[in-house]
Structure 1
Amino acid sequence: MLVVSRFRVAVGDAPAFRDDLARAHAALAQRPGYESGTVGRNVDDPDLWVLSTRWENVGAYRRALSAYDVKLHAVPLLSRALDEPSAYEVVEPGTDLNVASARSLV
């Protein structure tokens, strides 16, 4: 599973944001199921930042969000992300993709 969180940050706020982003990434990286991650800044629009993480599965990511250190260091920062979908399934040859359907039976 891939999680892509994008942020719009004013240039003057970038140094503090970069530190907060590194701290959030470090907290997430300590959780079970974390596989890898990257912090980046857009080359054409320096106000646009990204935190991209890869997880064993969606459950590992959701459990990570409930950990105390993540709630303390990552969740406040993640709440500043642009309001857009952030969780993606990794598409590889031969994988079954998620089916768009209702999540519960009524």
Structure 2
Amino acid sequence: MIAITRFRVSSERAETFAAEMAAVLSDLAAGPGHRAGRLARTVDDPELWALITEWDGAGFYRRALGAPGIRMRLIPLAAMAIDEPGAYEEVL
């Protein structure tokens, strides 16, 4: 499964946000079921970012987000997250 969480980040926070997300990606990569992860920014709107991760299944993804260390890193960033569904099942 693929998890995509989009964030609206001001240009003033971009560098700090990227550094904080690098730590989140590192923590996620250490967890079971993690396949890949990356942080992207749109070319048309530099304030729109996406955290994209791939997992063996939704359970692995949800457990990873619930891990205490990861939760503590993500909570301050959650205020910038766009509220929308983010877990995708691959169909093709």
Same structural fold, with TM-score higher than 0.5 when normalized by the shorter chain: yes
Greater RCO between the two (CA within 8 Å, min separation 6)?
Answer: 2
2:33 is the alignment partner of 1:30: no
Structure 2 stretches lacking a partner, 5+ long: none
**Pairwise CA RMSD of aligned residues?**
1.3
Q: Normalized per residue, which structure has more helix?
A: 2
The residue aligned with 2:80 is 80
Give the letter aligned to residue 28 of structure 1.
L
Larger radius of gyration: 1
The residue aligned with 2:57 is 57
C-alpha displacement at 1:77, in angstroms? 2.3
* Contact 2:9 2:80 (8 Å CA) reproduced: no
* Contact 1:27 1:74 (8 Å CA) reproduced: no
C-alpha displacement at 1:68, in angstroms? 1.9
C-alpha displacement at 1:75, in angstroms? 4.3
What is the percentage of aligned positions where both structures have the same residue?
Answer: 43
Q: Aligned residue pairs: how many? A: 92
Relative to the length of structure 1, the TM-score reads 0.79
Relative to the length of structure 2, the TM-score reads 0.90
Structure 1 stretches lacking a partner, 5+ long: 93-106
